Structure formats: C-alpha cells, structure tokens
Structure 1
Amino acid sequence: MFFHRRPEGQRATRPRRSLSETIKLTLSFLSSKSSPPPDPYGMPPSPRRIEDIGRPKQLRHRVRQHPDSNSDLHFIHRLPVEILALIFLAGSEDDIFFPVTISHVSRAWRQIALRTPTLWRRISLSPKERMWKERIRRARACSLDIQLLPIKTRSRGEPKHADLDPYSIQWHMHIVLPYINRWRSLEIVFPEFVPYLWKAALSRCCSRSGAQAPLIEDLKLLHRANEDPEAFTLFSGSAPRLRKATLNGIRLNWLPSLFAGLTYLDYTHHGFTAGHQAVHDVVDMLKVSSQLVDLRITFPRKPVVCLPCRQDAVCTQVCLPRLQTLQLRVEGKDIPFELARIATLLITPSLRSLRLIDQGRSYNSFASLKQFFYIYALPPSLNTVRIEHGWYDPRMVTPIAQSHSKVRQIIIKRSHQPEQVINLKPLSRTRKVSHNGKPVPATSSTNADWTSKGSHFGIQRLDVQYF
C-alpha cells in the first residue's frame, strides 16, 4: 500500500464542505434552540455550565430567519442585561415616562424594566393617581424621588390651567406621604401665587411624630411669589442625610439636626425681613451649615417686608473652612446691602472659585461696585473668578491679576459681547537671556492670554489702576 507523503511544513486540513452541506449545517444551527451544530468530524461541542457566572447572560431574540435572509441582529440585542439596565436608567433621568416606553418595546425589555426597581423611583405627582401608585409598587424597597411640578401645559391649542389650589396639592401629597421614610429627594415648584400652598404641601411633613425622612438627600422648594411668612420645621426636625438644599420663597426653622450636614446651598432670601435683620438670619443659617462646599446667595428686591427688623449691625463673622465655590447673585440694578454685608462677614480659607452673577444683565457697571470692593477683600486662595455684566469694570481686572498670585483664570461676560477668558500664567523662576547673552531682569507684571470666541490677544502688561 502506498501512502501520499505530505510536504514538510504543510498543515493537515479538513476536507472542504460542499455548498449543500454548509446550508444544511446553517439551517440546523438556526433551528436549534440551545445546542450548536454538531461537528461532522466527531468533535463534541464545548458545554456551557449554568453555574458559570463569569459570563453575563446576553439578551437575544429567538427569531427564525428566512434561509435567504442575511441580515444580522442589531448589536443592542447582544448587550448584557446589566448594560441595558444602566442605559435605561440614564434615559429615565431625562424623560420620566421613559420606563413606560421601553417596557412596551419587547417582552425581554419589559422583563428587564420590571426587574429594575430604581427605574421607577421618580414620582412626579399629578391627577393620574393609579399610575403613580403602580410606579411606587414597582420601585419595591427602593428610595423615591418625589416631584410636585404643577406647570401649565397646552391641550389642543388651548391653555390648560395648573392644579394650584390647596385642595389639589394636598391630595397629590397624600399619595406619597405614607412612604416619607423612603424619600430620597423632594422637589416642589409653584410658579404662581396662590395663598396657603406651602401649608397644603408641607403641613403633614411638619408633624411632631411620624414625619421623619431618614433617607432624604436633596431638597428643593421654590415659590417665588409666596406671601406666607410662616416658618416651617420639616421632617419633625430629623434629616441626617440631607446634603443639598435649594430654597426660594419659604421660611424654615434652621435646626442643626436638619441642615448641619449640608454641602450645597442655593439660597434666595424670602423677603419677609430686610436690612440687618436679614443679614442676621442668614448668618445664623451659615453658622449651622458650616460644612458647605458650594454656596449661592441671592437677595431679590421684594415689596413684602412685614416682620420686625433689628436696627443694630451684625458684626459676627462666619467661618466656612470647606467652602470652595461662592456665587453672589444680583437681580436688581445695584448690589443689595445685605449681600455686600454678608460677603464681608465670610471667612473662606479654601475658596477656589468666585462667581459674580448679574441676573438682570445690566449694560453699565453697578453704582456701588467700587464701594463693594473697598469692603470685600478677595481671598488669597482664589483660582478662578467669573465676572458678569454689572459686576464688570475694566479697572478691576489688573488689580486682581497682580495682587492674587494664585488666580489662573478670569472669565468676563458683558452684554452683546462674546465671553472672554483670561488665562493667567505664573511667572517663571528662570531668568531669560537676551540675544547679547545678558540676563533680562524679571518684571512684576503677570503674563496673560486673553481668549474669546474667534479672537486671541497677547497682553504683557496692563498699566491701569482701579482706585
């Protein structure tokens, strides 16, 4: 018997399959539900163990394809279930009805949505009582994000009035009050003036017993047109996890058990006090919340001032050792006395960013801007300064750049002009050498790069004095 000798270096190969055999194997693989096509050469398929948790189960549609169809499944059907759940959570942050939409795409996606409790935690109260109760049930033991946003909408071209009467507000809150121990955040926004809205929304949240919120982390209460001066004590005086608060148009009893752990505070004064009394109120608040990292203060000009005010000035300073961002906002035509006084009482050794915001977008500088910088000294730890509209004076840029060595960026926003960014460069310690080989003496000026949209300026020295 003669044997054909394989040339040296050539690999042993299996005989090629015919076209009909390939089609049969492909059809058998598509029709099989669990096992891959058998190997005609006797090689057993690799078993897949159920207890192998290293490979996440992938989402696949068991669809029979036509033999002539060469279309592949979309890549999203090959993603692990865990990744799809994270995508669904990201989408639900922008659209509250996103969980309902994805649960109607397919049976597999509905199972994923129903088995992800955090997908249903956001409850935006409205007259659709059954829907929100079902969402609470689907959230299971997960914490809840409560929203009450009665904003006007349009129906068939006609304006639809928001549910702003106290009875509707109290009924909406009645749905979620039994689950107050599961609240993670509370957001209430009233866009228009209606009397007794805060009492209707918060009366049961201020009861002496059974109204504690041990899980709440974020609080947002906005009613700019409020005319009710009553002070509320929220959550029976206990909210140990509260870290963020945004308040506008409401008086609260500022207890340490509620607000001692705040790291973010966006505070707009309610307007029921003014002058030294308002400064005293805010200073007492900041003494309690001494762990703030981000602070934003606004004193709007409101005609409602009904509470008795003190006449003596407040001289007690407040130390905020962890404060890194301070935002001073002005809504009127000039800097309020209360805002300027509080700024002078703050001790901020770690302040990195100062933002001077003019919400009225004044074209000219504030009349009291010069006096403000006479009494307010910029902290030496500043790194970034943002100046907008009425806060801007061209004579103030150079003193800031020359007197604060740690300032690296100054952002300027003026009316009808693009935003300008001044990047300040620290002075080099090495001495420059001229063409003649002699060292060039160092100057006291600070190098700066002025950049704006569509333009670039290189400025070496600005010989301008502010005062």
Structure 2
Amino acid sequence: MPSSRSRSQQPSLTLARSFLKLVKSLFSCFHSSQYLHQPQWNSDKAALLPRPISRPHQLRPSVLNADYPSCVHFIQRLPVEIISLIFVLGSEQDTNFPVTVSHVCSSWRYVALHTPALWRHIALGPQEDQLRARVLRARACSLDIQISPWRMTRLGFRRSQYWYAHSVYWHMQLVNPYIDRWRSLDIEFSNSEPYLWRASLAHCSTPAPALEELSLLYRNNDDTTPYILFAAYAPKLRRLTVDGISLAWMPSLYGNLTFLDYTHHGFTNGHHAVHDVLSILHITNQLNTLHILFPQGRIAYLPSRREPATQHVSLMKLKELVLKVDGHDIPFELASLVSLLSSPSLATLRLIDLGDAPYSFRSLKSFFYVYPIPRTLRYVHVGHAWYEPKMLQAMAQSLPLLSKITVKMSHTPEKVFTLNRRIRGHGPHYNVEGLGVQSGKK
C-alpha cells in the first residue's frame, strides 16, 4: 500500500530515483579519484562540523579547497541541506540507501550521519548491531518499524526470512522502548507459526502519541483474541491496513482514521461478519478512503448470528470506495454490507477482481440491484469479472456527474471511456460495446 506521504511527494521521489541511479554509477569513480580522498572542507571546517542537520536553517554551499580542480562534479557543489533532503527521499525507496551514500566519500558520510531522518526506517532482521546503530543515528527523530517476510541483502537481492515467535519477541524488545517515537508500524508474516501475533504485539500496550500509520498483515492467523493496542491511545493514527487479525475497535484509537484497508479475518461469516464490519465503520466514520475484502475459503471459528444485520452506517466524508473479490463470485457478506452503507459524497468507485476471471460474476446483476450507487460518482474502475456492458450503460445514463470509466479485462490493455455530456441534459455520448469490449458468460 503506497502511503499519503509518497503520493504527495511524487516529483521529489522521481528526483530521488534519478539521483540513486547517479550515485550507483559514480560510486566506483568516487573511490578511484585522487581528489575525493582529500577533505572537502576548508580551514573553517571545525566551525561547521558540530552543527547537525536536524532542522531547517540558512542554505550554505559546500566549501572547497583552493587547490580543488574546477572540473569537480556539480553534485559536490550542492548545498548540504539539498543533499540531505535527496538522501532522505532516496531512503524511502531503498532501505540500504543510507549505507550506500555514507560510503561514497567523507563529506557525504558526514551529511548522512548528521541527518537523523535518513536512519528512521528500522527493518527488523538478523543484523542486531545495525539496528541499534540506526536507532542511535536517528537521535530524536520518529521511527518507522517494519517486520517483513523478506529482507534486502547488501547486494540488493531480496531474500525470504522465516519468523518464529521467539525471534519476533526478541527483535521487538529492541524497539519497544521507543514506542513513543514510532511514526509507523508495519508487520507482515507469510509463514504459519503459533503465537506470532502474541510475540509481536505483546508489549504494544503503552500509548503511541506519534503513530500515524499501522499495517498488520497475517492471512494465516488463527488467534481469535481481539487485541487492544497502545493502551487505546494513538491520536495521530490516520491510516490502517488490517488482514487476518482481530482488533478491539475503540473510538479513542481508530476514530480519527481517514484511510482503512480492511480484509475480514474470517473468524465469523454471514450475518455475523456483516455486523462486525458495520460496527467497525460506525467507529471509523471519518474515512476518506475505504477498501473492503471478504476472503473466500476461510473457515469460521466463532458461532454465526442467525438474525440479519439491519444497522445502517453513513460515511459522510467517504470519497473513494474499493470493493475487492478473490473468489469465483461476489460473496454474500459484501453484497449485504453495501446495501446498508451510505456514502453521499462518494466520487470514486473501484471494483477489483483479484482472481482476474475472464467471465462476469453470476450474481453481478443482483449486486447492482441491492447496491444504491451514489449519484455523486465521477469515476468508476471495473476489473475483469466485474465487467458487464449493460451495467456500465446503466451507470452512464443514470449518474449525472460520471465523467470517466476504466475497464481492465484479461489479456487486453486497460480501456478508458470518457463521457462527453451534451448540452441541456440530453444525456452522455457513450457506448461501451461500440468500443469493442465484450463480456464473457459462463
């Protein structure tokens, strides 16, 4: 899941990617140059060194020796604040980037070691000494904690890693004392092992005042215990991704969410599952973006409710709704949920088929019959088995603000249909079948 910070920094991230390629291409020539092994600061170096780069201040150019050649690369003439910012952006794309740039030359190493935000990403793994060094170099900067099923080697290769409960518990002990500095927590497990969640979240019981993003992914989890995290206090938490874990949903912890990617844990099904999700949405009623998935093939561990859910939930600020399906048909829980969901400000609707089926869902017509599509929709994305020409024709004719429909089918490029509105409400000039996209039938 790309974050809100990364979307708002797309131009800067493009510059960082280009800079990263340039660093790798110049890495060898920097080490072979006879000049770059010499100090790059003048006699006033002592007055400049103690000043850490941790807050904005007046820009100053790099000071070169008088005997330094005029053909020096332009990178060496950039202000250290600009170099520091580029380093931070590059580290968001590559976790080994801070180590790479700190070994180019003495001046870059000085900049890297005095940029706390460059070392804030803590990916837990076997290199305990490196983890402690990163925490130390980050100083008072907020931290991004990650437990991943894979790790990056020094050569840039991706290696899988198997987690055990005792190893997770040991590594979490290294970062748990800094919970008050956590900016994000990202935990993902791909292997099946008992007590993984208990080991990873056992000591997450103190407030997290700086936490902004939380991602908990473990599809193979069989622990039905609802977890209470961070003493129910994380006032800055805005983004949450959950898959396979049962949480105790409290307004003091999740009431300020603006982004929720929710995959149902599967411990309940039918009406019980719909009731659980409606209870969650009633608490997280400030959402701008909502992703929903009810995984297929999960065996319910808890007894189901017989009475249907009747509670209606209104998400007044919801702008984007993403409905996902990973089976051969639309699950009953998803169809029942959308029939009880109101979103009067919805502008974007994305219908995702994770199985990339070549045929339309059997219950597609029934789904659109029970789902009250908001008339505020401006953009619709339809993928694979969600596609049906007649349904899109009906949308185009009944939604007055709809301006674009995107269709993605198997083995064909994505098609974008732009609706051209005619004068005085004569309807849209739009024809799906005329563009050569047909739906299959089972």
Bin for the TM-score computed over the shorter chain: 0.7 to 0.9
More deviation, 420-429/292-301: 420-429
2: distance between equivalents of 1:59 and 1:203?
Answer: 48
The residue aligned with 1:80 is 79
The residue aligned with 1:109 is 108
The residue aligned with 2:426 is 444
Q: Give the residue type in structure 2 aligned to 1:289.
A: T
Cα offset, 1:450, TM superposition:
7.3
Q: What are the superposed Cα offsets for residues 34-81 of structure 1, whole Å, 9 maximum, x if unpaired?
A: 89xxxxxxxxxxxxxxxxx99732124437357xxxx61211111111
Cα 1:341–1:196 shift into 2, 3 Å: same
Q: Give the residue type in structure 2 aligned to 1:308.
A: P
1:216 paired to 2:215: no
Q: What are the superposed Cα offsets for residues 176-205 of structure 1, whole Å, 9 maximum, x if unpaired?
A: 001111100000010111111000100111
Cα 1:390–1:96 shift into 2, 3 Å: same
1:238 paired to 2:233: yes
SS in 2 for 1:251: coil
Q: Does the CA contact (< 8 Å) of 1:118 and 1:142 recur in 2? A: yes
Cα offset, 1:304, TM superposition:
2.3
Q: Give the residue type in structure 1 aligned to 2:257.
A: L
CA RMSD after TM alignment: 2.6
Q: What are the superposed Cα offsets for residues 90-111 of structure 1, whole Å, 9 maximum, x if unpaired?
A: 1100111211111111111111
TM-score calculated relative to the size of structure 2: 0.82
2: distance between equivalents of 1:128 and 1:154?
Answer: 11
Q: 5 Å matches for 1:31-430?
A: 56-62=59-65, 64=67, 72-151=71-150, 162-206=161-205, 211-429=206-424
2: distance between equivalents of 1:268 and 1:160?
Answer: 26
Q: Does the CA contact (< 8 Å) of 1:424 and 1:449 recur in 2? A: no
Q: What are the superposed Cα offsets for residues 132-181 of structure 1, whole Å, 9 maximum, x if unpaired?
A: 1111111111110000113278999xx97724110001001010001111
Unaligned runs of 5+ residues in structure 1 are 1-32, 36-52, 430-442, 459-467
Relative contact order, higher structure (CA 8 A, sep 6+) = 2
Cα offset, 1:237, TM superposition:
1.2
Q: Which structure has the bigger radius of gyration?
A: 1
Q: What are the superposed Cα offsets for residues 266-290 of structure 1, whole Å, 9 maximum, x if unpaired?
A: 0000000000000000000000000
2: distance between equivalents of 1:169 and 1:57?
Answer: 44
Cα 1:450–1:87 shift into 2, 3 Å: farther
Q: Does the CA contact (< 8 Å) of 1:421 and 1:450 recur in 2? A: no
Q: Does the CA contact (< 8 Å) of 1:146 and 1:183 recur in 2? A: yes
The answer to which structure has the higher helix fraction is 2
2: distance between equivalents of 1:333 and 1:61?
Answer: 66
The aligned length equals 383
SS in 1 for 2:350: strand
TM-score calculated relative to the size of structure 1: 0.78
Unaligned runs of 5+ residues in structure 2 are 1-41, 45-55, 437-442
- Identity, % of aligned positions: 47
Q: Does the CA contact (< 8 Å) of 2:150 and 2:159 recur in 1? A: no
Q: What are the superposed Cα offsets for residues 241-299 of structure 1, whole Å, 9 maximum, x if unpaired?
A: 11000000100000011100000000000000000000000000000000000000000
Q: Give the residue type in structure 2 aligned to 1:241.
A: K
SS in 2 for 1:177: helix
Runs of 4+ in 1 over 6 A off after TM superposition: 152-156
Q: Does the CA contact (< 8 Å) of 2:125 and 2:151 recur in 1? A: no
Cα 1:383–1:103 shift into 2, 3 Å: same
Q: What are the superposed Cα offsets for residues 301-344 of structure 1, whole Å, 9 maximum, x if unpaired?
A: 13321101111011111010000000000000000011111111
Q: Does the CA contact (< 8 Å) of 1:121 and 1:135 recur in 2? A: yes
Cα offset, 1:125, TM superposition:
0.6
Cα offset, 1:402, TM superposition:
0.8
Cα 1:319–1:54 shift into 2, 3 Å: closer
2: distance between equivalents of 1:236 and 1:387?
Answer: 41
Q: Give the residue type in structure 2 aligned to 1:252.
A: L
Q: What are the superposed Cα offsets for residues 110-135 of structure 1, whole Å, 9 maximum, x if unpaired?
A: 11111111111110011211111111
Q: Give the residue type in structure 1 aligned to 2:411.
A: H
